[in-house]
Amino acid sequence: MTDPARSPDGPPAPFGDADAARRFQVETHGLDVIGDAERKGTPRTLFWPWFGANVSVLGLSYGAFVLGFGVSFWQALTAGAVGIVFSFLLCGLVAVAGKRGSAPTMVLGRAAYGVRGNRLPSVVSWMLTVGWETVLCALATLATATVFATLGRGGGTETKTVALVVVGALVVVVGVTGFDLIMRLQAVITVVTGVLTLAYVALVADHIDWSTVDAIPSGSAQEFIGALVFMMTGFGLGWVNAAADYSRYLPRTSSGRGVVGWTTFGASLAPLFLLVFGLLLAGSSSELNAAVAADPIGALTTLLPTWFLVPFAVVAVLGLVGGAVLDIYSSGLALLSAGLRVPRYLAALIDGILMIAGSVYIVFFADDFLGPFMGFLTTLGVPVAAWCGVMLADLALRRRDYDEADLYRPHGRYGDVPPLPLLLTLAATALGWGLVTNPAADWLDWQGYLLGPLGLGGRTGSWAYANLGVLAALALGFLGTLALGRARVRRQERRAPGVRNGDEEVPAV
């Protein structure tokens, strides 16, 4: 049923309609299936949350990040474009599971991993989303402090404290409130940040020196692959574990191709534009390139006239909040799927407290941002890639929609703790960690243990920074499930259907 307060193909209708009050009520849905009467919208409505979550000016800083791999402008542009689009295409494919099962992503994963076996990938998913929301909250705080310092109105501990409280409170309140408020906020963020980002681009365009950019020497094939994988982990692979959390509200009859297309398009559009401009800026200035590593958002203010600093702070904070809001909503669902038995809003609140604690560390105590950030992305990117491979292959093998009731029953068709997907994920993760290195993060120097035995030059060789482990984990999870999981899926689909949601209450296991 379509909500009359929404445009079927655009953002939510303005405030003031008869249904507006409901949008500020705390969402009661947790791990349960969304009933047919509550499904609404069209695949096109997925554009708004995905665009709003990825329009952050942090995308400009990725230009400096990817050039740091030692590649040329054209190599960086190719690696970035392929990494962004391909990784968000993975999100679009996972999102199809949402409209086929109308449950959160990590509940739908129970079809592949079993009801309680799915707790392992749920824990990894929870760690990833909490980590991302912490990074985004901290960056919003640092950006605000930098703007105030440039204006001569503070920027020290007091400014950072107030900014952290305001940003953290906004993220937590919206995340706790739930889906309807998130969709409305993302529509606002899309418009405001889109306009102000274009204004930023116009103001700093004269800092681009094409001759300097074009003179950047080319890197090796290994450096190109490393840049490509980094872009994958920095964008779509950071979202695949939450990709069905919003498509689950669509009617069952929604087009699968539409779900894939609008998710991929909405998520990729802003990062592609921001990447191009970020590459041009970072390639034109070695000083800016180096400054981005310490303060990815604040460094961008050094190019601006004073009068635009406050609008820039607005666009920076809103863009980062847009991503953090989606993360805290999904991290709460992942925590429930991992086995915590509390209401969804309380799980989101718990994650919000952890987010603020982590942000305090990054803002007030950490000396470097880029090193730990890259280590975080690559380390968790490996098991998430393995999960994504298993999930996509399992979805491709299925000819029928999910049996909703059995997603919550350990003795149903999907089983409790099936060994194959868990062993496959662990093997893919072990392989992946053996093929990646994180030299900027000392606590991860144990990785890369397969680079020597496989003849790839060891931890200091030419393949050490190619991050092959992410691709290897994705491929092993996908191909292994296709080869070994077909019979299990067929046995599941031959069983008689269980009780559908709406006919009988299903437990939130």
Token digits of residue 275: 């990447």
Query: Stretch 113-127: mean pLDDT, rounded?
Result: 94
C-alpha–C-alpha distance, residues 426 and 348, integer Å: 28
C-alpha–C-alpha distance, residues 155 and 153, integer Å: 7
Q: Residue 28: is its pLDDT beyond 80?
A: no
Q: Residue 16: is its pLDDT beyond 70?
A: no
Report the pLDDT value the prediction gives residue 326, as an integer from 0 to 100.
84
**Inside any domain, residue 254:** yes
Amino acid at 326: L
Q: How confident is the model at residue 9 (pLDDT cuts 50, 70, 90)?
A: very low
Amino acid at 177: T
| Most confidently predicted of 74-88, 199-213, 287-301, 310-324 | 74-88
Q: Residue 350: is its pLDDT beyond 50?
A: yes
Q: Provide DSSP, 275-313.
A: HHHHHHHHHH-HHHHHHHHH-TTGGGGGGS-GGGHHHHH
Q: Residue 20: is its pLDDT beyond 50?
A: no
**Inside any domain, residue 110:** yes
C-alpha–C-alpha distance, residues 241 and 346, integer Å: 20
CATH code at position 39 = 1.10.4160.10
**Inside any domain, residue 182:** yes
Share of the chain above pLDDT 90, in %: 54
Q: Residue 501: is its pLDDT beyond 50?
A: no
pLDDT digits (tens, 9 = 90+) for 72-97: 999 999 999 999 999 999 999 999 99
Share of the chain above pLDDT 70, in %: 92
Report the pLDDT value the prediction gives residue 24, as an integer from 0 to 100.
57
Report the pLDDT value the prediction gives residue 407, as an integer from 0 to 100.
93
**Inside any domain, residue 212:** yes
* Residue 438 to residues 58, 64, 383, Cα–Cα distance (Å): 21, 18, 16
pLDDT digits (tens, 9 = 90+) for 245-286: 889 989 988 999 999 999 999 999 999 999 999 999 999 998
Q: Residue 216: is its pLDDT beyond 70?
A: yes
**Total domain count, the chain:** 1
User: At residue 6, what are phi and psi to the nearest 5 degrees?
Assistant: -115, 145
Report the pLDDT value the prediction gives residue 13, as an integer from 0 to 100.
39
Q: Residue 389: is its pLDDT beyond 80?
A: yes
User: At residue 12, what are phi and psi to the nearest 5 degrees?
Assistant: -60, 155
**Inside any domain, residue 4:** no
**Inside any domain, residue 506:** no
C-alpha–C-alpha distance, residues 318 and 324, integer Å: 10
Query: Stretch 155-167: mean pLDDT, rounded?
Result: 91
**Inside any domain, residue 504:** no
- Give me the domain span that covers residue 65: 22-494
What are the residues whose beta carbons fall under 8 Å from the beta carbon of 46, sequence distance 6 or more? 95, 246, 247, 250, 259, 262, 263, 266
Q: Residue 22: is its pLDDT beyond 60?
A: no
User: Considering Cα of 244, then 246, then 251, then 256, what sign does the dihedral take?
Assistant: negative
Of the candidates 484, 435, 486, the one whose C-alpha atom is nearest the C-alpha of residue 461 is 435
C-alpha–C-alpha distance, residues 433 and 378, integer Å: 9
**Angle made by CA atoms 490, 496, 501, in degrees to the nearest 5:** 110
Report the pLDDT value the prediction gives residue 7, as an integer from 0 to 100.
36
User: At residue 297, what are phi and psi to the nearest 5 degrees?
Assistant: -95, -45
Beta-carbon-side half-sphere exposure of residue 166 (alpha carbons within 13 Å):
14
**Inside any domain, residue 5:** no
Residue located via tokens 């890197």: 219
pLDDT digits (tens, 9 = 90+) for 358-388: 999 888 887 766 677 777 878 888 999 999 9
Q: How confident is the model at residue 398 (pLDDT cuts 50, 70, 90)?
A: very high
Average pLDDT over all residues of the chain: 87
Going by the DSSP 8-state scheme, the letter that residue 6 receives in this structure is B
Beta strands in 199-336, from DSSP E residues, in sequence order: none
Q: Residue 114: is its pLDDT beyond 90?
A: yes
- Mean pLDDT lowest for which of 43-57, 169-183, 398-412, 494-508? 494-508
